[in-house]
Amino acid sequence: MIRSRGFASLPELVEELHVSESTIRRDLDHLEDTGTARRTRGGVYYTGPSPKLPHFDESQPAQWDKKKLIAAEAVKLIDEGDTLLLDGGSTTYEVARLLVGRRLQVVTNSLPVANLFATNANCDLVFVGGYVYPRTGVSLGPHANEMLRRINVRRTILSVSGANERGFYNNNLLLVEAEQAMMRAADEVIVVADSTKFGCQSLAHLCPLDAIQHAVVDDEIAAEWQQRLTEARVELHLAGSGSNEDKT
């Protein structure tokens, strides 16, 4: 019910499922623990993966525990009322899950991310149009890039598929073009990436290390990479149970 509607109120669930309110609350606690839903005043939002994008869903489990920690750290950088650009990466999606219910203006080229905010009364949602890449539900191409050129936001949040001494990478040329337009539209760029991405390159070069302002990474990132990011004047935020302080 929650997935199909996007949002369901507590009284609706009690009435339609013919169970007690305490039973519903216990079930909602479980859905929140699994990341499938998020409770808010008056009801619950669906925050699970899109059922119509199997490739996106299959990519979610990879390094999922790290991505959840990274997302929890990244949302600390977001202020109420912020205007955000979110790409379609799986780590960015974990960030988006935690932002549901907050007062924000969200711009995205990702159908899964847009689906999270579509029924959120606190959020103004802008979807970037263009050719929708069917495996990931991300809008790409010249129409998307043209729309991104006309947009201005406070912060852009990006996922990447690799990073080496030359900078950050992603695995799709059209995606990199869109992400470069997203970077130009923002006052600040935040890269969210798990530690396994560092020391690797991918198909298309996105930007040099010093082109971003913040990197949010799990605390298993190698000391060598912490130093490289610091030397590039990137503010490094380490996510993990034992890493609560930022490195600058």
CATH number of the domain encompassing residue 189:
3.40.50.1360
Give the domain extent around 73. 54-247
Residues 9 and 74 in one domain: no
**33 and 86 part of one domain:** no
Q: Note whether 42 and 65 are same-domain residues.
A: no
Looking at the fold, whether 76 and 117 belong to one and the same domain comes out as yes
Regions of the chain where pLDDT drops below 50: 51, 54-55, 244-248
The pLDDT value recorded for residue 245 is: 47
Same domain, 97 and 114: yes
Based on the fold, state whether residues 239 and 135 are members of the same structural domain.
Answer: yes
pLDDT at 62: 60
Same domain, yes or no: 25 and 141: no
> According to the model, what pLDDT value does residue 95 have?
95
Q: Are residues 236 and 126 in the same domain?
A: yes
- Check residue 134 and give its pLDDT: 79
User: Can you state the angle between helices 64-74 and 90-99, rounded to 10 degrees?
Assistant: 50
What is the token pair recorded at 167? 């900078």
pLDDT score for 46:
77
Number of domains in the chain: 2
The CA-atom distances, in angstroms, between 175 and each of 137, 209, 217 are 12, 18, 21
Same domain, yes or no: 165 and 73: yes
Which pTM was predicted?
A: 0.79
What is the pLDDT, as a whole number, of residue 55? 47
On whether both 125 and 191 belong to a single domain, the answer is: yes
Q: CA–CA separation, 134 vs 53, rounded Å?
A: 7
pLDDT at 10: 86
User: What per-residue confidence (pLDDT) applies to 61?
Assistant: 54
Are 121 and 168 in a shared domain?
yes
Residues 42 and 77 occupy one common structural domain: no
Helix (H) or strand (E) holding 3: helix 2-5
What span, in angstroms and rounded, lies between the C-alpha atoms of 233 and 213?
8
